[in-house]
Chains A and B, each alone.
Chain A
Amino acid sequence: MSDSLLQDAPSTAAHPLPDWFRKNQKAAAARFDTLPMPTRRDESWRFSNLKAVDPQDFAPARPVAPELAAALLSRSHGLKSPAGSTVFANDRLLAHQLSPALAAQGVLWLPIEEALQSHGELLKGHLLKNTPLLGSDKFLALHQASLRAGSFLYVPKGVHIEAPLQTFHWVAGSGQAVFPHTLVVAEEGSSATVVDWFKSEGEARNLSIAANDLVVAKDAKVHYVSVQDWSRQSVSLHSNNTNVAAGGAALHLGLHLGGVYSRSESVSRLEGAGARSEMLAATVADGAQEFDQRTLQEHGSPDTYSDLLYKNALYDRAKTIVSGLIRVAPHAHRTDAYQKVRNLILSPDAEANSLPGLEILADQVRCSHGATTGEIDPDELFYMQSRGIRSTDAYRLITFGFLNEVLDRLPHEELRSQLQDALKARLRGH
Chain B
Amino acid sequence: MSTETISQLDVDRTRGDFHYPEQHTFDAGVGLSHATIDYIADVKNEPDWIREFRHKALDVFESKPMPTNWASKDLDNIHFDKIRYYLANAQRPTRSWDEVPDDVKRTFERLGIPEQERKFLAGVEAQFDSEAVYSNMKKALGDQGVIFVGSTDGLKDHPEIFRKWFGKVIPTGDNKFSALNSAVFSGGSFIYVPPGVKLKHPLQAYFRINAENFGQFERTLIIADEGSEVMYMEGCTAPKFETATLHSAVVELVALKGAKIQYVTVQNWSANVFNLVTKRAVAHEEAEVKWIDCNIGSRLTMKYPGVVLKGRKARGEVLSIALANNGQHQDTGAKMIHAADETTSNVISKSISIGEGRASYRGQVHIPKHLKGCKNNTECDALLINSTSRTDTYPAITVRGSGNSVQHEASVSQVSAEQIFYMQQRGLSEAQAMSLSVNGFVNDLVREFPMEYSVELKRLIDLEMEGSVG
Contacts and interface: CB of A to CB of B under 8 A. Distances in A.
| Chain A in direct contact with chain B (Cβ < 8 angstroms) | yes
Interface of A: 41-43, 46-47, 330-331, 333, 343, 345-375
A351 B399 contact: yes
Given A353-B396, A361-B390, 10 more contacts: A331-B387, A347-B401, A348-B402, A352-B399, A353-B397, A353-B399, A360-B382, A363-B386, A371-B395, A371-B406
* Top 8 A-B pairs, shortest CB-CB distance: A363-B387, A375-B402, A358-B393, A373-B399, A351-B400, A348-B401, A367-B412, A368-B411
A381 B8 CA distance: 63
B62 interface: no
Which of A47, A331, A368 has the most chain B CB atoms closer than 10 A to its own CB?
Answer: A368
B305 to A, nearest CB: 20
Given A46-B396, A360-B384, A345 B410 contact: no
Interface in B377-427: 382, 384, 386-414
Contact of B403 (A330, A348, A358): A348
18 contacts: A345-B399, A349-B400, A351-B369, A351-B401, A352-B398, A354-B395, A355-B396, A360-B392, A360-B412, A362-B387, A363-B384, A366-B412, A367-B411, A370-B409, A371-B408, A373-B399, A374-B404, A374-B405
B395 A350 contact: no
A366 B416 CA distance: 11
B402 A346 contact: yes
A355 B397 contact: yes
Nearest to A339: B410
Contacts of B410: 356, 358, 368-370
A375 B408 contact: no
A357 B392 contact: yes
A343 B405 CA distance: 10
Contacts of A352: 397-400
B15 interface: no
B370 interface: yes
Contacts of B49: none
A370 B377 CA distance: 11
Contacts of B405: 372-375
Contacts of B411: 367-368
A349 B386 CA distance: 46
Contacts, number: 123
B362 to A, nearest CB: 10
Contacts of B390: 359-361
Contact of B408 (A42, A346, A350, A354): A354
Nearest to B414: A364
B387 to A, nearest CB: 4
Contact of B413 (A331, A356, A366, A371): A366
A346 B399 CA distance: 12
Contact of A348 (B369, B386, B389, B393): B369
Nearest to A374: B405
B412 A372 contact: no
Nearest to B405: A374
A363 B400 CA distance: 38
Contacts of B400: 349-352
A64 to B, nearest CB: 40
Given A357-B392, A359-B392, A350 B401 contact: yes
B369 A355 contact: no
Contact of A356 (B382, B386, B408, B412): B408
Contact of B414 (A363, A370, A373): A363
B69 interface: yes
B408 A343 contact: no
A170 to B, nearest CB: 35
Given A356-B408, A363-B387, A370-B409, A347 B414 contact: no
A281 B389 CA distance: 32
A348 B400 CA distance: 7
A360 B393 CA distance: 9
Given A348-B370, A366-B413, A360 B395 contact: no
Nearest to A335: B412
A361 B395 CA distance: 18
Contacts of A367: 411-412
Which of A369, A371, A372 has the most chain B CB atoms closer than 10 A to its own CB?
Answer: A371
Given A358-B412, A366-B413, A369-B409, A350 B69 contact: no
A44 to B, nearest CB: 11
Nearest to A43: B70
B403 A43 contact: no
Nearest to A353: B398
A346 B402 CA distance: 6
B395 A356 contact: yes
Nearest to A361: B390
Which of B70, B369, B397 has the most chain A CB atoms closer than 10 A to its own CB?
Answer: B397
A365 B413 CA distance: 7
Contacts of A356: 393, 395, 408, 410
Nearest to B369: A349
Given A43-B69, A366-B413, A370-B410, A355 B402 contact: no
Given A348-B370, A360-B390, A41 B402 contact: no
A357 B394 CA distance: 5
Contacts of A353: 396-399
A354 B397 contact: yes
B393 A369 contact: yes
Contacts of A355: 394-397
B391 A358 contact: yes
A364 B387 CA distance: 8
A374 B406 contact: yes
Interface in B35-78: 69-70
Contacts of B401: 345, 347-351
A324 B137 CA distance: 50
Contacts of A42: 69
Contact of A368 (B387, B397, B409): B409
Contacts of B406: 371-374
B212 to A, nearest CB: 33
B331 to A, nearest CB: 13
A275 to B, nearest CB: 19
Contact of A345 (B384, B402, B412): B402
B335 to A, nearest CB: 14
B408 A333 contact: no
A349 B369 CA distance: 6
Interface in B286-324: none
Contacts of B399: 343, 345, 351-353, 373
A359 B412 CA distance: 10
Nearest to A355: B396
Nearest to B408: A371
Contacts of B396: 46-47, 353-355
Contacts of B70: 43
B405 to A, nearest CB: 4
Contacts of B408: 354, 356, 369-372
Interface in B334-355: none
